Amino acid sequence: MIMTLSTEEGEAWVKVNRRKGRRRPGAAIGDVSAATPPPSTPTLSLEQVKQDHDRLAAHWRASPSYGRLQELLSTNATHTGNSIVVTKAICFGLGPFDPPADGSWERSRAAHIQLAAFLTIVEHLQSGASHQIRCVFQDPIFNSVDKAFIASLGHEVVESPIGFQLVDPESFAFGVHLYRDVYSQVIGTHFPAIFVGTSYELWEDLHGAENLDWARMKELDQLCVKAEFPKNQSDSTFFNTIIHWRRGDQR
């Protein structure tokens, strides 16, 4: 179920339009991830990565996407039935902050924006919590500078499969444009309180219900209130990304 909420800027909670058989850009569509490449050799210093993040995060926070996300976060409790308790936030597959050898700057740009969005959600959850929310990051392609940058923010970097093992009913799991097998591991044991990632509907659109043997994702889909992640025009960073809030009476 995807609900609608009228705002001055339009609808903040919107129904995902489904078009059978069409692949949509911006979402991982493979069933099995390719072999994970080794971490790249750093080309930027820690200070340069910090400067890039400050600039890109500030630009995103000045965008419509940020404002609409704040509005969604402020109104979700009304639709989920009660307030959500989150004790840990786990970010999967964020990607490199230091551009890889192929010069894919867009990939690094998306990593910075996704990090800013992840931390925005954590900050909102933290504002209503009486405990400190633990922030954990897992990505096998993080190099030494990527890890140092996360550590400089006061957060943890863990190796796989530790991040998957940390997911429980009081966690917030964030993974944008990941492969299906990674999502399977994220929700394989427990359903998180909040899950940000590709929706079951999109996977069904791509593969067809008869070919999609993925009971866990379908069950999560049925347990949650959902909303499209607010995105900016001409920016694919959050294309096909859905916020799932597990209803308060479902664990």
Span 29-82, pLDDT tens digits: 444 455 677 888 899 999 999 999 999 999 999 999 999 999 999 887 555 545
Q: What is the separation, in whole angstroms, between the first and last Cα of the chain? A: 17
Please report the DSSP string for 81-112 in residue order. SSPPP-SEEEEE----SS--TT--HHHHHHHH
Res. 140: pLDDT tops 90: yes
Task: Show the tokens assigned to 220.
Answer: 């999560």
- If one counts every other C-beta atom within 10 angstroms of the C-beta of residue 21, the result is 8
How far apart (Å, rounded) are the C-alpha atoms in residues 68 and 71?
5
| Mean of pLDDT over the chain | 83
Burial 81-102, CB ≥16 within 10 A → b, else e = eeebebbbbbbbbbbbbbbbee
Give, in degrees to the nearest 5, the angle at Cα 18 between 65 and 23. 85
Please tell me the predicted confidence (pLDDT) of residue 144.
95
How far apart (Å, rounded) are the C-alpha atoms in residues 110 and 116?
10
**128 — pLDDT class (breaks 50, 70, 90):** confident
How far apart (Å, rounded) are the C-alpha atoms in residues 83 and 58?
29
More confident position, 209 or 76: 76
pLDDT digits (tens, 9 = 90+) for 14-29: 334 444 444 443 444 4
Alpha-carbon radius of gyration of the chain: 17
Q: Return the closest-CA partner of residue 243 out of 54, 34, 69, 30.
A: 69
How far apart (Å, rounded) are the C-alpha atoms in residues 31 and 145?
30
